[in-house]
Amino acid sequence: MLVTGPEAFSFLQALVSADLDPLSDGQGARSLLLTPQGKLDVAFRLLRVGDDAWLDSDPGTGEQLAASLNRFKIRVKAEVVDRSTEWGVVSVIGPGADDRFRGAATPAEHHDHVAYDGARLVRTEYGFDIVGPQAVVNAAIRELTASGISPVGATAFDAFRVEAGVPVQPVDIDEKTIPQEAFLEIDAVSFTKGCFLGQELVCRIDSRGHVNKFLRRITNVEGDWPERGAEIVIDGKVVGAVTSVVERELGVGALGYVRREIEPGAEVELRSVSGIAHATIAAL
């Protein structure tokens, strides 16, 4: 999404969970657009490019993000432009990423970004993203592949993000998710910025409440390989459900929600139509 206009940032600041006021050109942040009830609408990353905001979210959620922002755009000098069919992202992940983009202008802090052939080169926790027009992204993919960087498909990326404990929408997080259930508040919610949409529930949980379940990694899986939706069971009692499963050959495991009292290290059963597996709960 592109949000532009003289009131673009004041409009977003009043709605989203991150504090955007400290951001200057070339900086960014993770943020959430919540419902008035404090549940997740869309999780996204925001990049400040001059006076414009570039927002990117998980595949398939762009239309929802644009529609939700436009729903609250009343008498505001800002425009929300859906570029999800024209723009894209390529991620360069691994210890060699710094060598590939080494230079004086390389962004140093997470979410910092610089110009890159009409797109933006963004520092991430795991390397770099190139965000911008699809033609620029495609050219970058060709150049990166020609330089010896291995391209990977969705299966390998899914294994990486499950092992890293990164949820995707709507698979692991959806309209029923409270941010603290998936630890989204750690880097996407400001508790000091003032009002934002859905603030009451999120802040009440932070100050004097708790959620009833947490997103966890599921490791050391042995037995019949589970499926998405498999029940997580301890001592015959269902305590959660699997949300993401990586193919058995990759040996990573899964993600799923378990009740808050189930601590990392707990041994569980995974029950699905394919059979029963044994596994260990681990922190994200």
Q: Which residue from 276, 254, 247 is spatially nearest to 172, judged by alpha carbons?
A: 254
Per CATH, is 167-282 categorized as 3.30.360.10? no
The 10 Å Cβ neighbour count of residue 20 is: 23
Residue 69 has pLDDT above 90, yes or no: yes
29-52 pLDDT per residue, tens: 999 999 999 999 999 999 999 999
For residue range 190-238, list pLDDT tens digits in order. 999 989 999 999 999 988 889 999 999 999 999 999 999 999 999 999 9
Domain ranges in the chain are 2-162, 167-282
Least confident of 120-124, 205-209, 220-224, 252-256: 205-209
Alpha helices in 19-126 (DSSP H): 62-71, 97-100
Asked if pLDDT for residue 116 goes beyond 70, the answer is yes
Q: How far apart are CA 49 and CA 67, in angstroms?
A: 22
Mean pLDDT of 125-132: 96
pLDDT at residue 206, rounded to an integer: 87
Q: Report the chain's mean pLDDT, rounded to a whole number.
A: 95
Whether 104 shows a pLDDT value over 90: the answer reads no
Q: Render 40-58 in DSSP notation, one character per residue.
A: EEEEEEEEEETTEEEEEES
Contact 244, 207 (CB under 8 A): no
Q: Which amino acid is at 20?
A: L
Taking residues 72-86, report their average pLDDT: 94
**Would you place residue 95 in the very low, low, confident or very high pLDDT band (cuts 50, 70, 90)?**
confident
Task: Give percent above pLDDT 90 in the chain.
Answer: 92
Q: Which residue from 189, 222, 217 is spatially nearest to 203, judged by alpha carbons?
A: 189
Give the HSE-up count for residue 38: Cα atoms under 13 Å, Cβ half-sphere: 16
% of the chain exceeding 70 in pLDDT: 100
Amino acid identity of residue 265, one-letter, is G
Instruction: Name the band, by pLDDT with cuts 50, 70 and 90, for residue 254.
Output: very high
Please give the CATH architecture assigned to the domain spanning 2-162.
2-Layer Sandwich (3.30)
Is residue 120 a contact partner of residue 131, using CB atoms and an 8 Å limit? yes
Q: Do 172 and 255 meet the contact criterion of CB atoms below 8 Å apart?
A: yes
Amino acid in the structure at residue 40: L
Tokens of 217: 């990694």
Dihedral angle, C-alpha 103, 107, 108, 109, nearest 10 °: -170
Q: According to the model, what pLDDT value does residue 264 have?
A: 97
- The order of strands in the sheet holding 87-93 is 87-93, 127-133, 119-124, 113-116
CA-closest candidate to residue 3, choices 60, 62, 89, 59:
62
Give the C-alpha separation, 225 to 236, whole Å: 19
Which residues, including other chains, have CB under 8 Å from residue 154's CB and lie 6 or more apart? none
Task: State pLDDT tens for residues 134-169.
Answer: 999 999 999 999 999 999 988 999 999 999 999 999
Longest dimension (CA), the chain: 58
pLDDT of residue 92: 95
Spatial distance between the Cα atoms of 43 and 33, rounded to a whole number of angstroms = 6
225, two tokens: 């390989």
